[in-house]
Amino acid sequence: MISRKRICSILMVAGILLFLSTGWGAAQEKFPNRPIQLIIPWAPGGGGTLNAQTLQPAFEKALGGGAMIVNKTGGGGTIAWNFVANAPPDGYTVGIVNPSLVVTQYTTKTGVNFKKFEPIITTVIVPAGVAVKADSPWKTFKEFIDYSKANPGKVNMANSGHAAMYHMGNVGIEMATGVKFTHIPYKGSGPCVAALLGGHVDGTLAEISTLLPYVEGGKFRILAVSSSKRNFAIPNVPTFKEFGFDLDVGTWYGYVVPKGTPKERIKVLHDAFKAAMNSEAFKAFYAKQGGVIEYMGPEGLMAYLEAQDKQWKKIIDFGGFKPE
Amino acid sequence: MDIFSNILAGFSIAATPLNLILCLIGCFVGTLIGVLPGIGPAATIALLLPVTFNLPPASAIIMLSGIFYGAMYGGSTTAILVNIPGEAAAAITCIDGYQMARQGRAGPALGISAFGSFIAGTFGVIFLMLLAPPIAELALKFGPPEIFAVMVLGLTILSYLSSGSLIKAFIIALIGLFIGMIGIDIAGIERFTFGIPDFFDGIGLVPVLMGLFGVAEVLLNIERVITRDIFVTRIEGLLPNREDWKRSIMPISRGTAIGFLMGVIPGPSNTISSFVSYAVEKRLSKHPEQFGKGAIEGVAGPESANNAACAGNFIPVLTLGIPTSAVMAVIVGALIIHGVTPGPLLIKNNPDIFWGTIASMYIGNFMLLILNLPLIGLWIKVLKIPYGILFPLILFFCFVGAYANNNSLVDVNVMIFFGLVGYLMKKTGFEPAPLVMAYILCPFLEEAFRQSLIKSHGDFSIFFRRPISATILAIAFLFVFMNIFSGIKEKRKRFLEKIDED
Amino acid sequence: MTVTASYEGPCVFMKQWRLALKNRDLISGIILLVVGAAVFLKSLSYPIGTFRTPGAGLFPLIASILLLSLSAILTLQAFLSRKGKGLAPAPFFPEKGASRRILLGFAGLVGYRYLLPVVGFAPSTGIFILFLIKFLGGYGWKASIFFSVVTAVIAYYLFQVWLKIPMPLPILRF
């Protein structure tokens, strides 16, 4: 029979082989050799998840690997952003960001400084619009602002979250035009729309993708839009610029990785995203939403983040918001 | 009739082989995740969304909606069998359903739950079909003060949930409120989080449910040396008998109405409607003392309510494009991804989606009934497993459920903590249901409270000036007074009896 | 007589006191008062705001005041009725050894939770089930090991492979 010693040595060899095969010896490997995680800071069904989901098929194809969408909600997005910032910088953890990243730096204790990330790319900007009910007395933005100036505090504006992006956007309008609104916080854009439909508020600032169906349905009127050029979906609506101020408060979606990720890996991700942006599905999706496909590469996104940072800080300081 | 031809067109879409299979898959998956804790319909629908990319939009929605109401059916199964609600809305079913199971009547409980859900679901869809637009308009009138009033009504219902002391019910509800306040509030301030980042978004509902209902019940049972008779092994029949049906028919009808109407209101309407139905049935019953000890009305009513509420949930989505809960938000997202813009024009622009979905809801309810009835025999066998092996499995089940909720071990800590708390509660006469109710309501209650005050610039009369909220608050106060009054009447009766004795 | 009474006095008082402590409502009432006070104090540390601009602390404050009031009523009720209880109330643990069993069950859960990130999902599940079936379920070693292994394997395939639930990577890789 096989001796004890024999068995022992066989077991030892098997053990060592098993040990090695668990990947402890992995050094240079092809990137990616396992699925990338796309961390979305908001609940499924929302704009961020939809952005990632629309990109996903073409992205995976261009990348030659899988991409897993992971929703990590909470803290206005900060839980997910903290997670990404602290993740190992190996290119397998990618986060999606939008203006809230910049805003929450100043308004929450848990906000993450955008400099903790390496930007990869931006994909789209969906401008924001000021909407009122179609049967309201204000037909133009000027009428709305004049009325608000004459009745400080009387006009109720719904926002999708206290001290969040669109609340700050409304404060930005106050800063630029000298009006005073009453800000009513809701949880997300959906409830804002419902509140406006029911006449519980006078107006709201939201991304036009949310507002468009109601404009087409004859329920809402968009008075002004936040992009620098008029939007293709609502060509008759003037921009903030035409009223003399510039508030870039639309929603943009960009992708980042933690600082320290190797440049070659960033390039791989960047090229895959860029290819995905060119897919028919992506373009068609945002064509319906009024989203402007806006490409910015790593340097472009970094510069944009700095510009956004300046803008939002000004608004936040004006409103006197501090991390509580 | 216009509706008639539309619904026929809808059936022609829903009844294609592809859509029938997808409906079946959706219902099946939904039932499965309803039974499995920790994985909810919202997460599942989001997960399976990419699978539907190559399908036509109507087919995608048919499958995804199937998951939604399948989960409602599945959630009640575990509630009845092992006192663990698979869905928050099934928490009420635990109260009488589990007691029925302990008396060997799990079959009738599961059966009436399935049938009630089917009847309510079907009628819910009928109402949806006929009344969607006007009801949607009504729902829009619910602003912050009205929502606040509804939440207050929900809390006052508490007095009917407990078969014990009223004070204890309110106390434990307040505790539930505090647990609901943990996390970042609408002003961005962390409350009661002890600096733990996992608590920033609040303590998860699933770990609390797992601990309070599942673990606590097991701890209670293992006090005694495990003999085999935790459950009466002689199972009485697999289906509800004639007596059961007689007692359930009115609760089912009332539950359907309550559930459907409340389903339109934003917020945790499925859960609230099941609680309201329970309270109504208890109030109207000729033998209210049976509630909490295995009264079948306590299963029939709430189960019907939460299924009818599902149909109600769809109304704001299909007519106005507004989601009223997390699951509906994902379904709206699914529509958007498939190039369908939900909004007031959905019925006009995409009648195939609207009518196809409605038709598939009929079919789905029917499929779920057929799926679930034979399973009753299977579930009964689960109860036959000796408790010595069953209880570790239940604990394991709770454990995984709490973990899978957010892939977090902190949630498991929460579950263990609430297991202990739930156990102590049971030993000192506090019931878990009011805590769960208050916990679920708290964010909506507070948000509506603060929004109303901001709007009225600090004026409390806003709650009473508006007709809808004033009416609802009046009903709530009525409930409380009636309960205190009957409590006083009881005490007086007993006092007088004592005097007679002496 | 008087002498005997005053000699017995303190003992009677102690007995009543012990009976009262056995009165669970009294204990829970006191615990709840403490909880209510703690929440009250903590909510004061958050901005209360005004009714015009309600702050984060307003709601908890109102609720904690309600809790304090109701707990006070509960405690008072329990205190007043303690004399009426001639017999000791039902014992906390109905059976001998119940407290030990509860402790075991609890220890099992806690142990599982801390073992999981160390040895991984499948092994810790197996150990957990084994522990419970053997020491609380009243089965022998063979049956316990059998069931625990079966459960661990099924659990692994169902939750980790099929449902792809990401489990914390164990320190000791299996």
Q: What is the pLDDT of residue C94?
A: 65
In this model, does residue B225 exceed pLDDT 80? Answer: no
pLDDT (average), residues A79-100: 91
Instruction: Check CB contact of B133 with chain A, cutoff 8 Å.
Output: no
How far apart are alpha carbons B456 and A192 in whole angstroms? 17
* Chain B residues 197-216 with a CB less than 8 Å from chain C: 215
Question: In this structure, are residues A89 and A259 in contact, taking their beta carbons and an 8 Å threshold?
Answer: yes
> What is the Cα gyration radius of chain A?
24
Closest to B343 (Cα-Cα) out of A263, A162, A214, C172: A214
Distance between CA atoms of C159 and C151, rounded to whole angstroms? 11
Q: With contact defined as beta carbons under 8 Å apart, do A174 and A181 qualify? A: yes
Q: What is the pLDDT of residue A259?
A: 92
Predicted local distance difference test score (pLDDT) of residue B102: 84
Question: Which among B39, B185, B223 has the least Cβ separation from residue C102?
Answer: B223
Q: What's the pLDDT at B258?
A: 92
Would you state the pLDDT for residue A273?
Answer: 93
Residue partners of C12: CB distance under 8 A and separation at least 6: none
- What is the tens place of the pLDDT at every residue in B79-112? 898 888 878 888 889 888 998 888 888 889 999 9
CB B77 within 8 A of CB B88: no
Cβ pair B347, A64 in contact under 8 A: no
| Nearest to A73, CA basis, from C23, B201, B443, B59 | B201
- Domain spans in chain C, listed from the N-terminal domain onward: 10-82, 98-162
Chain A CB contacts of C173 below 8 Å: 22
Partners of B219 on chain C (C-beta within 8 Å) are: 102, 105-106
A neighbour chains, 3+ CB pairs within 8 Å: B, C
For chain A, the average pLDDT equals 86
**Alpha helices, DSSP H, located in B193-268:** 205-209, 216-221, 242-263
The upper half-sphere exposure of residue B463, i.e. CA atoms within 13 Å in the direction of its Cβ, equals 19
How far apart are the C-alpha atoms of B330 and B64, rounded to whole Å? Answer: 10
Contacting residues for C101 by C-beta, under 8 A, at least 6 apart:
B222, B223, B225, C136
* Chain B residues close to A43, C-beta within 8 Å: 42, 326, 329-330
Distance between CA C132 and CA C138 in Å, rounded? 9
- Which neighbouring-strand residues pair with A158? A184, A204
Q: Shortest CB distance from B389 goes to which of C39, C95, C137?
A: C137
Using CA coordinates, name the residue in chain C closest to A183. C53
Encoding tokens for residue B73? Answer: 């059916």
DSSP A292: E
pLDDT in tens, B25-83: 999 888 888 887 767 788 788 878 878 888 888 888 888 888 988 888 888 888 898 88
CA atoms within 13 Å, Cβ hemisphere of B328 = 28
Radius of gyration of chain B (CA): 22
**B177–C63 CB contact, under 8 Å:** yes
Comparing alpha-carbon positions, the chain C residue that sits nearest to B47 is C163
Rounded Cα gap, residues B19 and A309, in angstroms: 49
Can the peptide bond before residue A32 be classed as cis, meaning omega within 30 degrees of 0?
yes
How much is the pTM? 0.81
For residue B325, the distance in angstroms to the closest alpha carbon of chain A comes to: 10
Instruction: Report yes or no: B196 at the A interface, CB cutoff 8 Å.
Output: no
Lowest mean pLDDT of B155-159, B300-304, B386-390, name the range. Answer: B155-159
Report how far residue B439's alpha carbon sits from residue B175's, in angstroms, rounded to the nearest whole number.
Answer: 8
> Does A76 reach chain B within 8 Å, measured CB to CB?
yes
Residue A323 has pLDDT above 60, yes or no: yes
Cα(C133)–Cα(C67) distance, integer angstroms:
41
In angstroms, the Cα distances linking B288 to B96, B279, B280 are 12, 10, 11
Chain C closest CA to A198's CA: distance in Å?
23
| Cβ contact A324–C173 (<8 Å) | no
Question: Given B389, B400, B453, which is nearest C159 (Cβ)?
Answer: B400
Contact yes or no for B178 and C27 at CB 8 A: no
The answer to whether A238 touches A225, Cβ cutoff 8 Å, is yes
First to last CA, chain B: 73
Do residues B321 and B344 make contact, with C-beta atoms less than 8 angstroms apart?
A: yes
CB contact under 8 A, B458 and C52: yes
3 state SS of B97: helix
Which residues in A have their CB inside 8 Å of a CB on C?
22, 324
User: How many residues are there in chain A?
Assistant: 324
CA distance A215 to chain B (A): 9
Residues 221-280 of A with CB under 8 A from B: none
- The model's pLDDT over A167-225, given as tens digits with 9 standing for 90+, comes to 999 999 999 999 999 999 888 888 889 899 989 999 999 999 889 989 988 899 999 99
Report CA-CA distances (Å) from A248 to A59, A240, C17. 28, 9, 71
Q: Report DSSP state, residue A224.
A: E
**Token pair belonging to B120:** 């309510």
Amino acid at B417: F
Q: Are strands A203-207 and A156-159 parallel, antiparallel or unpaired?
A: parallel
Contact B43, A44 (CB under 8 A): yes
- C46 to chain A nearest CA, in Å? 9
Region A286-304: mean pLDDT is: 90
B446 in reach of chain A (CB within 8 A): no
Q: What are the mean pLDDT values of chain C's consecutive 10-residue runs (174 residues total)?
A: 43 54 75 91 83 80 91 84 55 72 89 87 89 84 88 85 71 50
What's the pLDDT band for A150 if we cut at 50, 70, 90?
A: very high
The span from the first CA to the last CA of chain A, in angstroms, equals: 75
Window 103-132 of C, Cβ < 8 Å to B: 105-106, 108-110, 112-113, 116-117, 125, 128-129, 132
- Chains A and B: how many Cβ contacts under 8 Å? 141
Q: How do A251-258 and A292-296 pair as beta strands?
A: unpaired
The band of A27, judged by pLDDT with boundaries at 50, 70 and 90, is very low
**The predicted structure's pLDDT at residue C173:** 46
